[in-house]
Amino acid sequence: MKKTALIMAGGRGERFWPKSRQNLPKQFLSLTDDGKTMIQLTVERILPLVKMEDIFIVTNRNYKPLVQLQLPELPEENILCEPVGKNTAPCIGLGAVHMAKKYGDAIMLTLPSDHLVKYNSIFLNTLNQACDVANQGNNLVTLGITPDAPETGYGYIKFDLDRPLGSAYAVERFVEKPDLATAKSYLASEQYLWNSGMFVWKLSTILHNLEEYLPDIYSGLCRIAESIGKTNEADVLDKEFISFKAESIDYGVMEKAKNIYILPGSFGWDDVGSWLAVGRIKKSNEFGNVIDGNVVAVDTENCIIQGADKLIATVGLEDMIIVDTNDALLVCEKQRAGEIKKVLENLRICNRTEYL
């Protein structure tokens, strides 16, 4: 069956503030040494498997120019615009109805636009295996990541080693982010994988599951599908999308659906969840510092320093994150990287939207 891909690119990337901003979120930033942006890398990564013309991007309406700028070879009609973000279920549904209109049925790789993969050939093999499993019956396939630490920031998926299908295993259940003790017990049990948020299914399968588990969203999607190519298309999209309940595909579908399979992936996955990821991704110097820009570092170790033109001088720092931009500077302890959101909350409360 034909392979297509939907890339979800509507996120705001707040954990990468101040570089990631409302008008230039994380997926449009370059966070790697190669200078390519996250969404460019995501597309490039799957091109051996899916033709450019069969790749669709769902993003916020405001980001369409960014997608066009960064992916000039992508057909314009493949950029699907959400009027507002409603989490992943409506996003995936919007992609699915557009793709179903074009292809009837097809395999639909469903991928975030802001993750990294180190071993691309293994990733492609895994995706191929997932396509095989998705092709059989009405299976929903998710790529799971073998945990290397009891992370509390990821969802986990319990699989059944005794029910294999191809290279995959039947999923017993999806679980939300656990506390540390629970995460440790998951690792010890060897029965849990991280939820990567990457899925493979047939268009017909995901649409059927949306109909089953999110009927309100599904009927709205049908009205959107009906309007495609008609004069009222934009109005219908606006009206339906705004009325959708914000719902994640994990909670809305995957936690309830049957026939879910998971493929344990070992392709050097990184969800690039915070500035800490830059410390993993980019080359560090002999003092463990990852430095970009114009920096004089005195007795400074294990820091992430992302500067611009301005000279940044550091003295006696350890485990710090410094990110400078034209109008905003962040100085944050590494352990507190997850709390950058508090800065944004503060800015929202004070209505200082120019910094968001």
Select the span of 179-187, 188-196, 238-246, 304-312 touching its own copies (CB under 8 A): 304-312
Residues facing 305 on adjacent strands: 291, 322
Residue 253 — φ and ψ, nearest 5°?
A: -125, -55
H-assigned helices in 190-273: 203-213, 215-227, 233-243, 249
For residue 185, state whether it binds its own copies (rule: CB under 8 A). Answer: no
Query: What is the distance between the alpha carbons of residues 245 and 156, in angstroms, rounded to a whole number?
Result: 24
Nearer CB in complex with its own copies: 210/337: 337
Select the span of 184-192, 251-259, 284-292, 296-304 touching its own copies (CB under 8 A): 296-304
Query: What is the distance between the alpha carbons of residues 197 and 113, in angstroms, rounded to a whole number?
Result: 11
Query: What is the distance between the alpha carbons of residues 151 and 182, in angstroms, rounded to a whole number?
Result: 10
Nearer CB in complex with its own copies: 191/294: 294
Nearer CB in complex with its own copies: 194/275: 275
Least distance (Å) from its own copies to the CB of residue 328?
A: 4
| Residue-level length of the chain | 356
Query: What is the distance between the alpha carbons of residues 67 and 56, in angstroms, rounded to a whole number?
Result: 11
For residue 276, state whether it binds its own copies (rule: CB under 8 A). Answer: no
For residue 313, state whether it binds its own copies (rule: CB under 8 A). Answer: yes
Least distance (Å) from its own copies to the CB of residue 153?
A: 17
143 close to 115: Cβ distance less than 8 angstroms = no
Which residues are within 8 A (CB) of 77 and not within 5 positions of it... i.e. 6 or more apart?
A: none
| Interacting residue with its own copies among 51, 163, 230, 310 (CB under 8 A) | 310
Least distance (Å) from its own copies to the CB of residue 248?
A: 27
Which residues are within 8 A (CB) of 230 and not within 5 positions of it... i.e. 6 or more apart?
A: none
For residue 149, state whether it binds its own copies (rule: CB under 8 A). Answer: no
Query: What is the distance between the alpha carbons of residues 136 and 258, in angstroms, rounded to a whole number?
Result: 14
Instruction: Give the contact letters, 16-35, x = binds to its own copies (CB under 8 A), - = no.
Output: -xx-----------------
Nearer CB in complex with its own copies: 280/342: 342
Give the three-state DSSP class for 310: coil
Nearer CB in complex with its own copies: 69/313: 313
For residue 324, state whether it binds its own copies (rule: CB under 8 A). Answer: yes
Token pair, residue 224, equals 């959107």
| Interacting residue with its own copies among 315, 348, 351, 353 (CB under 8 A) | 315
For residue 290, state whether it binds its own copies (rule: CB under 8 A). Answer: no
- CA distances (Å), 62 to each of 5, 23, 195, in order? 21, 8, 29
Least distance (Å) from its own copies to the CB of residue 148?
A: 25
Least distance (Å) from its own copies to the CB of residue 178?
A: 24
Residues at the interface with its own copies (CB under 8 A): 17-18, 296, 298-299, 307, 310-317, 320, 322, 324, 326-333, 335-337, 339-340, 342-343, 346-347, 352, 355
